[in-house]
Structure 1
Amino acid sequence: MTIQWFPGHMHKARLEIEATLPKVHVVIEVLDARIPYSSENPLLEELRGTKPCLKVLAKSDLADESMTARWLAHFSQEEGVRAHAVTTDDVPTIRQLKQIATQMVPERRGRTIDIMICGIPNVGKSTIINFLANRKIAKTGNTPAVTKQQQRVSIGDSITLVDTPGMMWPNVHNVRSGYRLALLGSIKETAMDYADVGFFAARFMRDSYPDRLAQRYELDELPDAELEIIEAIGRKRGCLGKSRLIDIDRASRILVTELRSGQMGSLTLESPESSRRERSETKRAIAEKEAATAEKDAKRKKRFRDKQRAKRKSQEMQ
């Protein structure tokens, strides 16, 4: 499955972020603690450069606690970066973010501070903003892309938050990241296939949390194949279609919905080590694709030039 979900307002958001970034002092990037690598926006990393960045691992109550600790240590090794994990119902922890962000720019002590807060869709950014401001400023919802335009929010102590719409990037080149984003609700349903994502979820749970999968759906024996897992879930949940065949789409929706909402327990879908491998693989794949495109374009231009030369030669011979 290739994710290509980049609505018009996201393109506008990128242009606004690019124009506003030089004027802010700190960037807060909100990530999903279950997929810290896949929820990082490579466009933002490219645009912010050396600007101090506080990476906030939201929804950490849904993530594996030990893995979250590893991710915090991983991010803290990056120059100019600090990392902090929060949950959406721990208000005191969220409000600490303001103090942490101001500590990252000691030269601004006693002066106004502008902080840009960014994140992919449906990562919990709006909830964090509302707690920081101590009032409802940003719209919240369980569907991605609720915020449509940039806004400035005063949160006291001479600090202004620049809220940006949840922004994806035009192409998610890493296939596994695409599946993870779809699985956790950062991609609109119209841009994903539930059965496809369900197969990915079944494979992940089989490999990483097999006991939870078997216990959740009361499976005496866990099948090896993804299709058989989905069919087993369908039988247990009564997902029968015509001729008593398992409705694969319906069974997949059940698995995706329950994993996404935390009913499968706290889990993390990637590690710092796997992210390094995938980052390297993705970089290589992009380079190979660009090289292939360049070669194809060069051949096309050569055919055009050869055709033009042949045409001129034919005209000269007449």
Structure 2
Amino acid sequence: MAIQWFPGHMAKARREVGEKIKFVDLVFELVDARLPLSSRNPMLDQIVQHKPRIILLNKADLADEGQTKKWINYFESLGYPALACNAKEANTTKAILAKAKHTLQEKRARDRERGIQPRAIRAMVLGIPNVGKSTIMNRLVGKKIAQTGNKPGVTKGQQWLRVGNELELLDTPGILWPKFEDQEIGKKLALTGAIKDQLLHLDDIALYGLEFFATFYPGRISQRYGLSSTDEQLTAPDLLMDLTKKMGFREDYERASERLLLEIRQGKLGRFTLDRVEDLESESNHETVH
């Protein structure tokens, strides 16, 4: 199953970001804390270039806490300030503002020495679809001004938003690369909902999810669905067949797959992180930070 998705408005957004990057002081790169590396866009390094950048690991409430800490250490070891956040929490705005001020403190000090009066920090929020950009924007601005949705591709336009007197944000549509060099990345993105379900074979993604949980979080599947421990030792296809019956869907594997994916995405099987810091050495081709 080759996963590809690159709607036309994303190509336009890439051009617009390239044109407007010069107007901002800082870039907030939003990633999904459950897949901090796979949800990064390789094109951003080329577009952002040398602008200061903060990596925001959103949806941290759904991710494995131990792995999130490791990822923050990893990004900061490369010189990128990083912050775990949950767009739905009230204290997120304060934490992001503090991180932005700290990141730009040397530049602002130089500006003061040159007699340049301080102004609001101008920032751009970038990320692939469905990592929570609109929710972050609404949290920062303090009102529902950015359109949100539980599916990728909701935000189409581009708008400036003010956060009090301290921050001005340029919202942009999500950008996803046109081809996945590694289909494993495509499966991870699909499992967390970054790619439209209509473009996928849901049973393939469900099988991938079952194999992942059996490997890294054994016991979660049997605990959630009341299976015996021996059931979880089955191959993923056999396990999906058992789950389908357990859910009352008889032989409707598509419906069972849809239910399983929804519950994984909602965190009903517990916190999880698909990208493992420990795998970086063996998967150096996944690295997109330079």
Report the Cα offset of residue 50 of structure 1: 2.0
Residue in structure 2 matched with residue 232 of structure 1 by the alignment: 242
| Matching residue's letter, 2:8 | G
SS of aligned partner of 2:125: strand
Output the CA distance in 2 between the equivalents of 1:197 and 1:280: 22
| Matching residue's letter, 1:228 | D
Output the CA distance in 1 between the equivalents of 2:127 and 2:154: 12
Unaligned segments of structure 1, at least 5 residues: 241-245, 284-318
1:265 aligns to 2:273 (yes or no):
no
Output the CA distance in 1 between the equivalents of 2:181 and 2:287: 7
Output the CA distance in 2 between the equivalents of 1:88 and 1:112: 22
Residue in structure 1 matched with residue 96 of structure 2 by the alignment: 97
Equivalent residues of 2:26, 2:51 under 8 A apart: yes
Equivalent residues of 1:174, 1:278 under 8 A apart: no
Indicate the larger mover: 35-44 or 219-228.
219-228
Residue in structure 2 matched with residue 60 of structure 1 by the alignment: 60
The share of aligned pairs that are identical, in percent, is 39
| Matching residue's letter, 2:212 | F
SS of aligned partner of 1:152: strand
Q: Which has the higher helix share?
A: 1
Residue in structure 2 matched with residue 195 of structure 1 by the alignment: 203
SS of aligned partner of 2:233: coil
Residue in structure 2 matched with residue 299 of structure 1 by the alignment: none
Report the Cα offset of residue 282 of structure 1: 8.4
Residue of structure 2 aligned with 1:256, choices 258, 261, 265: 261
Unaligned segments of structure 2, at least 5 residues: 110-117
Q: Higher relative CO (CA 8 A, sep ≥ 6), structure 1 or 2?
A: 2
* CA spacing shift, 1:138–1:279, aligned 2, 3 Å: farther
TM-score, normalising length: structure 1: 0.83
TM-score, normalising length: structure 2: 0.91
* CA spacing shift, 1:281–1:148, aligned 2, 3 Å: closer
Of the two, which has the highest radius of gyration?
1
Q: Give 1:271-286 correspondences, 5 Å limit.
A: 271-280=276-285
SS of aligned partner of 2:170: strand
CA RMSD of aligned residues (A): 1.7
Equivalent residues of 1:173, 1:282 under 8 A apart: no
Equivalent residues of 1:86, 1:94 under 8 A apart: no
Q: Which runs of 4+ in 1 moved over 4 A?
A: none
Report the Cα offset of residue 40 of structure 1: 0.6
Report the Cα offset of residue 112 of structure 1: 3.9
